[in-house]
Amino acid sequence: MNLSKNCKITRHSNAVAAGTTDITPSSGIDMQGFEGCLFIVEMGTITSSAVTSIKVQQSADDSSYADLEGTSVTIADDDDNQIFYIDVIKPSDRYLKLIVDRGTANAVVDGITAIQYGARKAPTTHDSTTVGGGETHVSPDEGTA
């Protein structure tokens, strides 16, 4: 199986500088034609005493979102430069969105990536507005890259 041909990769949020405001992407991830979505959050520097967490919300129409029960992940103030993820399988609504809740002290977010999988049709097409390119190699020979 070739992962890059059987999933859809989207940059859900760009990097966000140190701050305490929540990060809420403007639009959700459209799950039509996919079984699940793995959200990956890359953290940067987190100031001591920062209160940070991530959660996933869903919406039927990409406008009114509600939290998904049990999806909250706490990020400690000493979790600098670590990756956190939430994987949602078979959501009941069409759109998903990952929210980063930041408070008390600064937390840097290096970006949020959404990887949709379980595509009903393959090969998939990555989000060309947020993915610049990539390659797939099967049993490549050694040599100049």
Number of domains in the chain: 1
User: What is the residue type of 51?
Assistant: V
Residue 95 sits in which domain range? 3-117
Instruction: Compute the average pLDDT of residues 69-88.
Output: 98
For residue 25, cis peptide bond before it (omega within 30 degrees of 0): no
Would the pLDDT of 1 be above 80? no
Residue 5's pLDDT is 87
Q: What CATH number has the domain bearing residue 74? A: 2.60.120.1110
> Does residue 138 lie within any of the structural domains?
no
C-alpha distances out from residue 112 to 3, 24, 142, Å: 19, 11, 33
- Does 87 map to a domain? yes
Kind of pairing between the strands at 107-117 and 16-19: antiparallel
Q: Encode pLDDT of 107-142 as tens digits.
A: 999 999 999 999 998 889 898 888 999 998 888 999
The answer to whether position 124 is within a domain reads no
Q: What is the mean pLDDT of residues 27-41?
A: 97
CA 19/CA 15 separation, integer angstroms: 12
Residue 140 resides in a domain: no
Q: Does 133 map to a domain?
A: no
Cα–Cα distance for residue pair 22/82, rounded to 1 Å? 18
Please report the pLDDT score of residue 122 as a whole number. Answer: 85
- Between CA 97 and CA 64 the distance in angstroms is 11
